[in-house]
Structure 1
Amino acid sequence: MIKTTICIKRKVGITRKEFFEYWYNEHANLIKELKDDLKIARYVQSHSIDNEVSESLRASRGGPEMFDGIGEAWFESMEVLSSLGQDEAALKALVTLIEDEKQFIDLENSPFWVAEEKEIF
């Protein structure tokens, strides 16, 4: 399996509560609608927890400000993911998805990449 990962920063002017509600309810439902066109096998959201433990862990490593969350989408193979660029339905779905993301995600400050998981245990 191949997955895409995005570390998400919310747009300025959107509260954490508003962000999480929109991401979990509206955006997730959109992904459910588009999953077949986008050939997504699995989708997971990780919502960050803003508390003393998170801050202590970040500070102990000298890390940057935390992200609001992480979105992950799994695909059966790199070939499946690569094929999205040649599929008319997928391209249309991608445009719809990105337009929605622009409503609540600071895309310029939200790193996005493709990865292959290596399970350790």
Structure 2
Amino acid sequence: MSFPTEKKYLKVTLCLKKRDDLTNEQFSEYWRTTHADLALSNKTFMDKVRRYNQHHATPEMKEVARSWGNPTLDFDGIAEVWVDDLEAWQEISADQDFLDKILPDEKQFLKHPITIMLGYDNTVIGDRAPR
């Protein structure tokens, strides 16, 4: 069986830890609303990003994962940002509005440093990325 060529987007995976003084609910609410709204108001982000997913990990789900006996990631959330290529991500990261508004806002709910991974998806089951 032959599949059509799939567009290979660069996936920027950002592994996040909440500030110690915030509850999981406060962290998730702020990230889901205020911080996401800032990202959506940034022209470069909106022009360059093809997909933006937020993975919110609850303490209960982390405990279930730990109970299986495997090592687990110690993060409270993971942001996935899909862009066309590394240059697009670099443009977002260098955007002055991004630097002035979005990065400083991270201090409202995140601990630094943020762990990052760059890579590509290989879809095995599910819809492939549009070309």
Shift in Å at residue 27 of structure 1?
0.5
- Give the TM-score, by structure 1 length: 0.79
- Give the TM-score, by structure 2 length: 0.74
Find runs of 4+ consecutive structure 1 residues off by over 3 angstroms.
Answer: 82-85
Q: Give the distance between the partners of 2:71 and 2:100, measured in 1 at CA.
A: 33
Q: Give the distance between the partners of 1:101 and 1:63, measured in 2 at CA.
A: 27
Q: Which has the higher helix share?
A: 1
Tell me whether 1:72 sits opposite 2:76 in the alignment.
no
Report what 1:48 is aligned to: 57
Q: Give the distance between the partners of 1:65 and 1:116, measured in 2 at CA.
A: 20
Q: Which has the higher strand share?
A: 2
Q: Give the distance between the partners of 2:72 and 2:55, measured in 1 at CA.
A: 18
- Compute the RMSD of aligned alpha carbons: 2.2
Per the alignment, do residues 120 and 16 of structure 1 end up closer, same or farther by CA in structure 2, a change over 3 Å counting?
same
Shift in Å at residue 103 of structure 1?
1.6
Q: How many correspondences in the alignment?
A: 115
Secondary structure at 2:71 match in 1: coil
Unmatched 5+ residue regions in structure 1?
none
Q: Give the distance between the partners of 1:8 and 1:20, measured in 2 at CA.
A: 11
Tell me whether 1:117 sits opposite 2:125 in the alignment.
no
